Chain A
Amino acid sequence: NAGVTQTPKFQVLKTGQSMTLQCAQDMNHEYMSWYRQDPGMGLRLIHYSVGAGITDQGEVPNGYNVSRSTTEDFPLRLLSAAPSQTSVYFCASNPRSGGTDTQYFGPGTRLTVL
């Protein structure tokens, strides 16, 4: 198993550009989520999904869109990038929804918005 994979590892954008961060898992996990990590603030939940076709907002959803068309993939879209979105982004998956399972994290994507 590859676990949770994220692409790209690094990305530089200009303000106003759009892009999609890719996340995939090969463990048939029901639950997937996106976080951003900023210095001194820990990880903050952006969006999550409890299964294909079902998504919900986390703590900091503004400026981000998600969709879940398959169990394996959970892309994160930035429609119009802003400098405030400069951060490290982590994707994670759990076997099930409900909040008791261990989360498996991807290696992260470091995004810089100029």
Chain B
Amino acid sequence: AQSVTQLDSHVSVSEGTPVLLRCNYSSSYSPSLFWYVQHPNKGLQLLLKYTSAATLVKGINGFEAEFKKSETSFHLTKPSAHMSDAAEYFCVVNYRDDMRFGAGTRLTVKP
């Protein structure tokens, strides 16, 4: 079975500083990997996805993630945090329609 571990339940950064949200996955096969964001009391929105093309994936709002097969990681980064980035972020692994979400990382951005 496949699974996802988000290594930090809560990350706090200052506005304008880099963001790093960590995700490790476990899968016996080559999965698709996604990052979704959920703003308070809102639905989920796709940030970016990896589907076996380029290992560095660029998403919306300046986010990007790098797929590292040797480390089974798919960490999410952004060079400069904005107040509007405060939200819950979910790493997701998908193999043949079996989607598994990580527990989520809450990002706080301080002024």
Q: Which A residues are closer than 8 A to B by beta carbons? A: 31, 33, 35, 40-45, 48, 50, 56, 58-59, 90, 92, 97-100, 102-103, 105-108
Contacts and interface: CB of A to CB of B under 8 A. Distances in A.
A105 B90 CA distance: 14
Q: Which 9 A-B pairs have the closest CB atoms?
A: A42-B101, A99-B94, A43-B101, A100-B51, A105-B44, A105-B43, A42-B103, A100-B32, A102-B46
Nearest to A3: B43
Contact of A103 (B9, B46, B102): B46
B63 to A, nearest CB: 15
Contacts of B32: 99-100
Given A98-B96, A99-B97, A103-B46, 15 more contacts: A40-B9, A40-B104, A41-B103, A42-B102, A42-B104, A43-B101, A45-B98, A48-B97, A48-B99, A97-B97, A99-B95, A99-B98, A100-B51, A102-B34, A103-B99
Contacts of A105: 43-45
A100 to B, nearest CB: 4
B46 A43 contact: no
Contact of A42 (B90, B94, B97): B90
Contacts of B95: 99
* Interface bin, chain B: 20 to 34
Nearest to B103: A42
Contacts, number: 59
15 contacts: A40-B103, A42-B102, A42-B103, A42-B104, A43-B90, A45-B98, A58-B99, A97-B97, A99-B32, A99-B95, A99-B96, A102-B49, A103-B46, A105-B43, A106-B43
Contacts of A45: 98-100
Contacts of A107: 43
Contacts of A43: 44, 90, 101
A24 B79 CA distance: 38
Contacts of A108: 43
B94 to A, nearest CB: 4
Nearest to A50: B97
